[in-house]
């Protein structure tokens, strides 16, 4: 071995020069996945949702929105939420609460926008209680990803189950099973006695109902609410037909320890008018 090669070999061992006769590229740091940054932002956002109480007065809720979501949400979106906190993600009841967001998929377009789909996991003191699908859009501002849209999707079961209750209500009326229809109003019943309720259908031969697209589920004080639009056709015993339109509001409780009957949708209110 030549003296020059021996010196180069020694330098290689000491990490000063490439080895004799070969060149090695300097080791490169591992590159993060392109989707890691949007994923991290959405997961951090999900962990902070429980810090935002939408039950608080508007000014208090707005301040908690700024504190929790600042640096994660686009300033325009943040301003919209603070002006109208009811539109912001957060805690709408004491229990369950939004615990985290579990990511299902991350896709990027043109390198500066991204779309994340997943589920908001709601939890109670006894564990996970519900999953609400969500789609989140982000854009890259310099080196930071910011949320530009946050769109929870109504769970299919919630809307379908509420519609099923309305249809079951009119099936019972059509069968003259007024006790069953009355029971679908829940423990408090409609704003009348059963006798008054039954007498209201004394002149009715049959009814049919067509339902529309349910509203998004809203939360308040341990409850969930949903509106179901309806068009009702009632045929009197005389053969005369009447058409009514409006909405039914349904409620279910989400309070820990509530019986299963209260956790199911039941009729809670109606806004029905005769069509001209």
pLDDT mean over 230-248: 96
Mark which of 102, 136, 152 sits at the end of a domain: 152
- Which residues, 6 or more positions from 57, have their beta carbon under 8 angstroms from its beta carbon? none
* Listed range (84-88, 143-147, 264-268) with the worst mean pLDDT: 84-88
What pLDDT is stored for residue 91 in this prediction?
87
What pLDDT is stored for residue 9 in this prediction?
37
Q: What is the pTM of this model?
A: 0.54
Clarify whether residues 65 and 173 are in a common domain. no
pLDDT mean over 153-178: 87
| CATH number, residue 203 | 3.10.450.50
Number of structural domains the chain divides into: 3
Q: pLDDT tens-digit profile of 112-150? A: 999 999 999 988 888 888 788 899 999 998 889 999 999
113 or 28, greater pLDDT: 113
Mark which of 113, 135, 152 sits at the end of a domain: 152
Separation CA 118–CA 136 (nearest Å): 8
Is a pLDDT exceeding 70 seen at residue 257? no
Average pLDDT, the chain: 83
What pLDDT is stored for residue 92 in this prediction?
77
């Amino acid at each position: 071995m030549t003296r020059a090669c021996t010196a180069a070999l020694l330098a290689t061992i000491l990490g000063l020069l490439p080895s004799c006769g070969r060149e090695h590229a300097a080791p490169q740091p591992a590159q993060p996945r392109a989707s890691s940054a949007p994923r991290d932002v959405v997961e951090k956002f999900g962990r902070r949702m429980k810090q935002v109480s939408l039950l608080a007065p508007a000014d208090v809720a707005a301040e908690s929105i700024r504190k929790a979501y600042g640096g994660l949400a686009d300033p325009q979106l943040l301003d919209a939420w603070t002006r109208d906190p009811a539109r912001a993600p957060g805690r709408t009841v004491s229990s369950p609460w939004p615990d985290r967001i579990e990511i299902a998929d991350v896709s990027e377009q043109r390198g500066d926008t991204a779309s994340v789909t997943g589920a908001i996991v709601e939890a109670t003191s006894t564990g996970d209680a519900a999953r609400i699908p969500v789609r989140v859009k982000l854009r890259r501002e310099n080196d930071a990803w910011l949320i530009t849209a946050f769109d929870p999707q109504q769970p299919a079961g919630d809307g379908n189950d509420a519609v099923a209750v309305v249809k079951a209500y009119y099936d019972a009326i059509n069968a003259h099973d007024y006790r069953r229809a009355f029971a679908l109003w829940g423990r408090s019943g409609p704003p009348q006695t059963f006798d008054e309720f039954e007498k209201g259908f004394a002149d009715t031969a049959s009814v049919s109902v067509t339902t529309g697209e349910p509203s998004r589920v809203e939360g308040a004080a341990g409850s969930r609410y949903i509106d179901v639009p309806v068009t009702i056709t009632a045929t009197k015993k005389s053969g005369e037909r009447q058409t009514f339109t409006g909405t039914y509001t349904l409620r279910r409780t989400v309070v820990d320890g509530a019986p299963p009957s209260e956790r199911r949708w039941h009729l809670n209110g109606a806004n029905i008018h005769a069509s001209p």
